[in-house]
Amino acid sequence: MQKVNDFKIMNNELFVFSKKVFLFCLIFNLTLSNAQTIKSREERLAWWQDARFGMFIHWGVFAVPAGVWKGEHVHGRAGIPDYAEWLMYNKQIPCAEYQALAKQFTASKFDPAAWVKLAKNAGMKYIVITAKHHDGFALFKTKASPFNIVDASPYGKDAIKALSDECKRQGMKLGFYYSQAQDWNNGGSVGLAGMGDKAPPAWDSSQKQNMDTYVNQVAIPQITELLTNYGDDIPAIIWWDTPRGMTKGLAQKIDKVVHQLKPNIIMNNRMGGGVQGDSKTPEQYIPALGYPGQNWESCMTTNNSWGYQTWDNQWKSSAVLLRNLSDIVSKGGNYLLNVGPDKEGVIPKPSAKILKEVGNWLKVNGEAVYQTKASPFVYLPWGRCTQKDDKLYLHVHHWPTDGNLKVPINSIIEKAYLLSDTNNRIKYQQSGGYTFLELPKYCPDTIITIVVMKMKSEIKSSIDNPIPSIGKTAIASSTESEKFKAEYAFDSSSRTSWKAAKDQKTGWLIVNLEKPTSIGSIAISEVVGHTEENTKHFKLEYKKGDNWITIIEGKKIGEVFQTSFKPITTQFVRLNILDSETEPQIRDMQLFADE
């Protein structure tokens, strides 16, 4: 009997051993298979670089209160604007009370086919959706938390799966936004990474949990679900955000999981913990110079808030959005433009209307946007430029009143024509390092007209020092601290800015160009809040002898302010802010040589 038992034990052990060998071989083969299909960074990013234009979707339980709590419009606190998706944080709503809102998240009119069709008709080439935002509500079925659309809402289905299936059907790339660190309902961090020790504390006892536990028990399991449940090619992008509390060790642990499961995925730079990602992500503004030689994507809203907000009707026009797109692609970036559906899953009509108008323009002029590279010209007073192979696409925002378009290039030209009318050849002359195009008297498109120059020789600007202000020394009327020095407004970095002293409503910046220099254009980006503007009255001035002479005067700077003026020669230029909502704060200010 003992021998029989020994034999059974041996057989069982042999079976277990054989099973382990089989599993090892299977995993090894899968790993080898994945390794053989891993693309180079250039190959991974090729489609994204060609796409240039994508749709951001902020959707979740925050669409239920929609920016209103107990009858009051909710405004920002502790450095956060009036964004609808930050309502729980801004009002410090207890977890149980906020989670109960999921019962009203009906998604009863959610039509993923309509969403994808809208994006395609707008000329967008990819979609990124908030699979989970900072409130911790998941739009997908997850075992890591009951606070998800399947288990907590009347919709009861996986919205991410529905959208994934539709993107496959319509040939649309899909990416997932995932808040990997900040999570107010599942024990993650609270506040922005840049707040340091000034971040507000957790307001509910159930939020107190250490980051190791949160990452291991919530974040990594949910990330694994997102990367494995929706097919080989979904998600194509993972979009991290607000890495508060994300240590090097935790970031590396998440990064390892991601690249084991999806080695060819594209990630942004907001993981934290030293993980760089693939792309920079300026938010709600366009850097004056872009990021030459780097991948970047400006994410911006169609109104003010990212999430749906009933009282936010500050819709940008299609002209503004198209000029933003033109500006971004001319600097080699991508434009991720947001929509915020309501609790039923309906994208607001003004958003849909604006996107349709954008798409109509792209149907005619898409050749000047998709698969293009950055402009060889740093700044053009009349518009922007992109290039592809041997062609320059001149994006004319401001039609010249005299019909002559001045381009700083003297390379040999084969022909010039309107993209909207390729048979309409444009005459030109070249002189003194410039090409002068003789445009039609009437502007074909009042938003942006594309003029194509097909070149025969090297494409190169004829201007040697196009940005005389970059990196120059500067002084200011005051600074809030060492973190906000005057020269930071001229370093072309998205991470730095000049800010006036606390409670100041006026202030000035002076840049020293080191020698008398001819300038004819300026680009300014200020740090703004929910109103998308801070400055209420300003003057741009230059020094002549002991006097300051006004170049231009205005009432708004905002995220992007760019204008040209009659060229002047000077060494010192001053931005004089005479009135503002809060302390003046300038992220970037650059002067451009007279072109």
Give phi and psi for 171, each to the nearest 5.
Answer: 70, 40
Angle between helices 159-170 and 112-121 (to 10 degrees): 40
Handedness of CA 26, 29, 32, 38 (dihedral sign): negative
Q: Which two tokens stand for residue 226?
A: 């997102």
- Which helix (DSSP H) or strand (DSSP E) does residue 430 occupy? strand 427-431
CA nearest 446: which of 361, 343, 327, 545?
A: 361
24 vs 134: CA distance, rounded Å: 38
CA distances from 247 to 215, 238, 250 (A): 11, 19, 5
126: part of which helix (H) or strand (E)?
Answer: strand 126-132
Distances (CA, A) of 476 to 488, 519, 543: 11, 21, 15
Residues contacting 221, CB < 8 A, separation 6+ = 142, 143, 144
2-31 in b/e form (b: 16+ CB < 10 A) is: eeeeeeeeeeeeeeeeeeeeeeeeeeeeee
From CA 584, how far away is CA 520, in angstroms rounded? 24
Average pLDDT per 10 consecutive residues for the chain, totaling 595 residues: 43 43 42 61 96 98 98 87 94 97 98 98 98 98 98 98 98 98 93 73 86 96 98 97 94 97 97 95 88 94 97 96 97 98 98 98 98 92 95 96 92 95 94 93 93 92 84 96 95 89 96 94 80 84 96 89 89 96 93 81
Token pair in block for residue 198: 């000034």
Which pLDDT value is given to residue 35?
Answer: 46
Residue 24: per-residue pLDDT = 43
Two tokens, residue 239:
């979009």
CA-only gyration radius of the chain, Å: 27
pLDDT of residue 14: 42
Q: Is 210 exposed, middle or buried (0-12, 13-18, 19+ CB in 10 A)?
A: exposed
Is the Cβ–Cβ distance between 382 and 371 less than 8 Å? no
Rounded to two decimals, the pTM is: 0.84
What is the residue whose two structure tokens read 């669409």? Answer: 63
Query: Which is it for strands 421-425 and 297-301: parallel, antiparallel or unpaired?
Result: unpaired
What pLDDT is recorded for position 462? 78
pLDDT at 32: 41
Enumerate domains of the chain plus CATH numbers: 41-368 (3.20.20.80), 383-455 (2.60.40.1180), 474-593 (2.60.120.260)
Residues found in the chain: 595
> What is the predicted pLDDT for the residue at 529?
60
Q: Tell me which residue has tokens 């504390």.
A: 201
Kindly provide the residue ranges of all beta strands, DSSP E only, lying in 458-584, ordered along the sequence: 474-476, 498-499, 507-526, 535-544, 547-554, 561-580
For residue 207, what is the DSSP state? Answer: G
